[in-house]
Chains A and B, each alone.
Chain A
Amino acid sequence: MKRAVLIHPDDNVATVVQAVAAGETIRVSGAGDTRELAAAEAIPMGHKVALARLAAGDKITKYGETIGRATAAVASGACVHIHNMEGLRGRTGGVS
């Protein structure tokens, strides 16, 4: 089974340790928790998998901290990257 690392209990994304194919089961462990999740699509090694369904505008949390927000709806088990999220810092309209 493919693995993903959860860093903080508040996180809504985990980092996949190996490349994952669509439909594969991922064992997400870390921060005192283990759960299983089906990959909604292929996810490259080191990339983030959504642990729950996200709506556009939802904050993305990793390390227990905000790392950006969703720019589109994200399915549970989908890859979270520049196509569906953006950072908030260093931007004219951003927050700090």
Chain B
Amino acid sequence: MTTTFPGYRRPDGQVGVRNHILVIPTAICSSRTAEAIAEGLPAVVIPHEHGCHFDSRANENLERLLIRLGRSPNVAAALVVSLGCESASMERITAGIAESGKPVEGLRIQEVGGTIRTITRGREIVERFARDTAALKPEPCGAEELILAVECGGSDAFSGLSANPAVGAAVDLLIDDGGTVIFSETGEMVGAEHLLARRAVDEETRRRLLHIVGRAEGGFRNIEAHSGGVYIAVGNLAGGLTTIEEKSLGCIHKGGTRPLVEVIGYTDRPTRRGLVIMDSTGHDVASVIGKVAGGAQVVCFTTGRGTPTGCPIAPVIKVCSNSDTSRHMADNVDVDAGTILTGEESIAQVGRRIYEVVMAVAAGERTKTEILGHREFAVASRAPIPEGVGR
């Protein structure tokens, strides 16, 4: 298999596996204009409904998230599109992204003078970015440059038997080759945290892990009266999962078996190589976005029920727990781990196959989410408390 991939070295030293030009609206009011700027051009846009909250913490969270997405090594250049009177600050966002040394510009619709002029100016900027980006030369990079995000969504009872352990086996292989893996979804560690805590490299890491899981469990207690004590999604129940403990015990398999080196906050960048836990919501899309904002270049996403969601700036590899869903939703599934259930392949064999796909995708092979244009974007309004609880 390929042990190196051609990566794009950014001015801050990080390595990208994609060369996206990211168009970032600061608020809902500039989202449509931002979409029109990117239309038909080699750029991705992340429309959203935030940026003008009265709660200053919500605006700070949004600014931090947009800055960190702009700094992602998969982004070659960024254009920030502002209305002009919103609470989120275009200056702070462009300045934050500029710290990475990559090209970034901003446009204000109220200054430029309306939608049409802003679209024209924005498209000129994107076209210039595209010419500059095309001239970037990739260099051979090794696994130690990779941060892989692992996620699960639309889990069924097989997720914990096939897809998650297989991704866990791939995670171990990547970590053994010097790479880094972020796994998250704190609410889905409730009932399994004692197993993760044993793997913490030091007391501080163990304490932080138990703290964030305790906080997530407190969030469950707050909704106990309304949920009847059921903290998993309707689809999880239909798929054969009954309790959060059962779901968590299956979920944590995708974190492999290596030591837990660090526990970080939502959108934070790992400071150590190895297995890292990010405190995040169980909302799939916001959880993926948080890890990509933290520097992950590739995402491995397990599912049992099947789910099409992707990410605007990172390839998402879908690993499915069973062959029925893999066939039924073939256009959304990259790897069928159902062969573990039928006995055709071992967990280690599928894990090796997943690791090969991760390296091939890092080298440029497109995932189903990329081919289909799945670029879902969500902002966790009050991370890291789990809102979507189940998936």
Could you tell me which A residues sit within 8 Å of B by CB distance? 5, 7, 15, 17, 44-48, 62-63, 65-68, 80-82, 85-92, 94, 96
CB contacts (< 8 Å) of A86 on chain B: these are 229, 243
CB contacts (< 8 Å) of B304 on chain A: these are 46
Range of interface residues on chain B?
20 to 34
Q: Is the CB of A47 within 8 A of B243?
A: no
Q: How far is the CB of A39 from chain B (nearest CB, A)?
A: 15
Set B157, B191, B230, B231: member contacting A46, Cβ < 8 A: B157
Q: Is the CB of A67 within 8 A of B229?
A: no
Could you tell me which B residues sit within 8 Å of A by CB distance? 156-158, 160-161, 190-192, 195, 217, 220-221, 224, 229-231, 237, 239-240, 242-246, 249-250, 304, 322, 324, 341
Bound-state Cα–Cα, A65 to B246, Å: 9
CB contacts (< 8 Å) of B250 on chain A: these are 63
Q: Is the CB of A68 within 8 A of B242?
A: yes
The 9 nearest A-B residue pairs measured at CB:
A90-B220, A87-B243, A46-B240, A46-B157, A67-B246, A47-B240, A63-B249, A68-B243, A67-B245
A-B interface pairs (CB < 8 A), number? 90
Bound-state Cα–Cα, A22 to B385, Å: 42
CB contacts (< 8 Å) of B192 on chain A: these are 65
Q: How far is the CB of A20 from chain B (nearest CB, A)?
A: 12
Q: Is the CB of A88 within 8 A of B245?
A: yes
Set A48, A65, A92: member contacting B249, Cβ < 8 A: A65
Closest to B157 in A: A46
Q: How far is the CB of B329 from chain A (nearest CB, A)?
A: 16
Q: Is the CB of A15 within 8 A of B158?
A: yes
Bound-state Cα–Cα, A44 to B304, Å: 15
Closest to B341 in A: A17
Bound-state Cα–Cα, A81 to B246, Å: 11
Q: Is the CB of B161 within 8 A of A89?
A: no
Q: Is the CB of B246 within 8 A of A90?
A: no
Q: Is the CB of A7 within 8 A of B161?
A: yes
